[in-house]
Chain A
Amino acid sequence: MEKKNYNIFELMAVVAAREIEDGAFIYIGTGIPMLATSLAQNMHAPNIVPVFEAGGIAPQMPTLPLSVGCSRTTHRTIRTCDMPEIFEMAQLGVAHYAFLGGAQIDKYGNLNATVKGKYNAPEVRWPGSGGANAFGSLCWRTMIIMNHEKRRFVEKVDFITTPGYIDGPGARERAGLPPGTGPYRVFTDKALLDFEEKTKRIRLIGLLPGVSIDNVVESTGFELLIKDGLINVPPPTEEELRILREKVDPYRIVLGRGDQ
C-alpha cells in the first residue's frame, strides 16, 4: 500500500470538517471535533458558531484546549455564559449540530457511555453522559465520532446514555423528544456512515482511503446497510493538511495523538 502522508486523526478531522456547512451552530467537544470544526472554519465555513459546554460561545482559541471548560475555550468569546444557558440554547432549537463520542453504538445510533455489562454489577463503569444526552436529544443533528471496532459497533447497546433512533422510525418522537432531531453522521477510522431514511438504521455511505467494504463489515457487530453508489472518500488535500498543521493545531496537541 502507498505510504500515507497523514495520520488517522488528520484524516478523520478532514472527513468530518467537510460535512460542516457554513452558518452552522455547533457544540464541540475536545479532540477530533475541535480539529474538524476549526478546519471547517478556516476553509469553507468562516461563519459557523462554535460553542463549548461549560460556557464559551464563539471563542477565538489561541491553541487547542484540554477540556470543554478550560481557558482556551473562553478566549475572546462573544459571550461567556453558564451551563444552563448552554443547554437551554439546544432546547430552544438554536443548535444545528453536536459532536458526540461513545464507548458503544448500535444500529439505531444509540450511544452508551455509562456501563458495560449489567447496570448494578458493571463489567466496566464509564464516566456517564456528561453533556452528551442533552446535546444528542436536543440538537437538530448529532455527529458521532468513534473507532470502528466490532466490540463498539454492537447489535444493542448495554445502556442507552444518549438515544439515537431508539428502536426505529418514530421512536424518538414517541418517547417525547423534540421532533426532527437525531443522529446524522457517524465518522470512524474506516468509514463515513449515515442513517437510512426509512429504517433509521446506520448505513455505510463512504469508505476512507485504503479501506474495503469487507474491512468495515468485519468491524461492525450488526448487519450493516450499504448505500448504492458508495463513495471512496478522497484523502486530505494538501491545503486541508496545511491548515490543520499550521493553523489549527501547530503544536500537534491533538494531531500528535494520531501518530501512535
Chain B
Amino acid sequence: MAKPRIEILEEGSGQIFSTITPNEFREHMREKVRNAWQDKRMDIKTAIEQFVHDGDYLTMGGVSFVRLSMAAVHEIIRQKKRNLNLAAGTRTYDFNLLLDAGCVKNIDCGYITGMEVFGIPYVTRKRAEMMITSGEMGISEYDNASMAWRHKAAAMGIPFLPIRNMMGADAFKHSAAKKIRCPFTGEVLVLVPAIYADVCIIHVHRCDIYGNSQIEGALNEDLGKSKSAKKLIITTEKIIDTEEIRLSPDRTLIPCFYVDAVVEIPYGAHPNNMPGMYYVDIDHMNEYMKASRDPSGKAFEQYYEKYIFGVDNFDEYLETIGGKKRIEYLEDLEHLRVRE
C-alpha cells in the first residue's frame, strides 16, 4: 500500500478575518507577560478606549445568556467602535446589541441572532439578512465546536487543528477550512484555522488586582479565548486579595500574565445569568424581545436609548432596570428562594 501523504482534498471559500500569525503572537506575548504583576485596575471607559480599536478582531467570553460582559458591550456601543471582526460562536444578546448598534463588520459564525427559548429578535434578524445580502457584513460559516477548537488551536500556539466534523455540511464551503487526508491513518480530516484575536473581554466571578481570575459554572470557550488575544480585558463581579486566589488555585482559569485590564463591575452580566450569583432577568429579556418585534425599529431605538445611550455607566444602567431590589430578586431566583 502506498504511504499516505498529506493532500488537500477540498477548500472552503470563506475568508479569514484574523490575520495574526502564531509567530507574531509569540513576539507579542514575550513582552506582554512582563506586566504580569502590575496593578491593572481601571474603569470600563478607559479599558475600552485603550484596548478596543476600530477594525479589531474581538472575541467575548461567556455563552448564551451566561456570564456575558454587558458593561463592556454597552461601553463599546457608546464609544461607537466600528468595523469590528467578531468571533460569533454561541453568541446571543451581546452579539445582537453590537450588530444593531452598527459595530460589526465581519463575523466567524457559529450561532448568531438567536435568543434560544426567547426566539429570534425580528429587527436584528432583518438587519443581519440585509447586511449579508448587500455584502456589508462578511460571514465565514462554522459551528460552536469548530469555533471552540479554533480558539483552542490559538491557545496551543499552533496555526490550525484537525477536527472530524464540518465534512458533508454546506458551512464547510463558506468557511476557510480545508479538507485533507491524514498522513498517519489515511482518514479524511478538516483543518480549521486558529483565531488569534486583537482583543478579548471576559466577565468573571472574582479576580485580584493583577487579573488572576476565577469562574464558576460552565467555562464555555473562555480558556482558549483568554490565552490567544493580544489584549485581554477582565470585568469582574468582585476584586479579591491574591491570598484568596492562592487558597483555591485550582479554581483559577486565567493567570494574570494574560491580562491587560481589570475592571470591577458588580452585576456586570445583567440581564444574563451569573452562575451562583444571579439568574437571567427573564422580564428584561421579554422587554427586549418585545421591542425587537416593532418592524419600524422605533421600539428598539427607545430600548437602546433607555438602557445604553441614556446612561453614562453600568451603575446608572442598573438603576434603570430596578436597582438593588431587582438584583436581590434575581439573586433569590438563582438560589431558588423564589419561583420563576
Decide if B98 is an interface residue (CB 8 Å cutoff).
no
Q: Which residues of B contact A44 (CB under 8 A)?
A: none
A69 touches B218 (CB 8 A): yes
Q: Which residues of B contact A162 (CB under 8 A)?
A: 169
Q: Which residues of B contact A54 (CB under 8 A)?
A: 63-64, 66, 90, 218-220
Stretch at the interface among A5-13, A60-68, A185-193, A239-247: A60-68
A133 touches B220 (CB 8 A): no
Decide if B146 is an interface residue (CB 8 Å cutoff).
yes
Known: A128-B141, A253-B340. A160 touches B111 (CB 8 A): no
Decide if B27 is an interface residue (CB 8 Å cutoff).
no
Decide if B222 is an interface residue (CB 8 Å cutoff).
yes
Decide if A41 is an interface residue (CB 8 Å cutoff).
no
A67 touches B339 (CB 8 A): no
Known: A70-B66, A126-B120. A133 touches B221 (CB 8 A): no
Q: Which residues of B contact A71 (CB under 8 A)?
A: 66, 217, 273, 275-276, 279, 334
Known: A71-B217, A126-B120. A63 touches B340 (CB 8 A): yes
Interface of A is mostly: loop
Decide if B268 is an interface residue (CB 8 Å cutoff).
no
Q: Which residues of A contact B171 (CB under 8 A)?
A: 114, 128-129, 133, 161
A83 touches B217 (CB 8 A): no
B164 touches A52 (CB 8 A): no
Q: Which residues of B contact A67 (CB under 8 A)?
A: 63-66, 92, 116-117, 273, 280
Known: A69-B64, A87-B148. A119 touches B189 (CB 8 A): no
Name A130-178 residues within 8 Å CB distance of B. Answer: 130-134, 137-138, 159-163, 166, 171-172, 175-178
Known: A70-B65, A137-B166, A160-B168. A82 touches B116 (CB 8 A): no
Decide if A33 is an interface residue (CB 8 Å cutoff).
no
A55 touches B111 (CB 8 A): no
Stretch at the interface among A73-81, A196-204, A206-214: A73-81
Question: Which one of B129, B142, B188 contacts A176 once the chains associate, using CB atoms below 8 Å?
Answer: B188
Size category of the A interface is 35 or more
B125 touches A131 (CB 8 A): no
B279 touches A126 (CB 8 A): no
Shortest beta-carbon distance, B251 to chain A, in Å?
11
Shortest beta-carbon distance, B331 to chain A, in Å?
12
Known: A66-B280, A68-B64, A71-B275. A129 touches B167 (CB 8 A): no
A82 touches B145 (CB 8 A): no
Shortest beta-carbon distance, A216 to chain B, in Å?
27
Decide if A121 is an interface residue (CB 8 Å cutoff).
yes
Name B172-219 residues within 8 Å CB distance of A. Answer: 174, 179, 187-190, 217-219
Decide if B165 is an interface residue (CB 8 Å cutoff).
yes
B65 touches A83 (CB 8 A): no
Query: A212 to B62, alpha carbons, bound, how many Å?
Result: 46
Task: Name A residues whose Cβ lies closer than 8 Å to a Cβ of B.
Answer: 30-31, 52-56, 62-63, 66-71, 73-74, 80-84, 87, 90-91, 114, 119-122, 124-134, 137-138, 159-163, 166, 171-172, 175-178, 251, 253
17 A–B contact pairs at CB < 8 A?
A55-B219, A67-B117, A67-B273, A80-B218, A120-B133, A122-B132, A124-B129, A125-B113, A128-B171, A130-B111, A132-B143, A137-B164, A137-B166, A175-B167, A176-B187, A176-B188, A251-B339
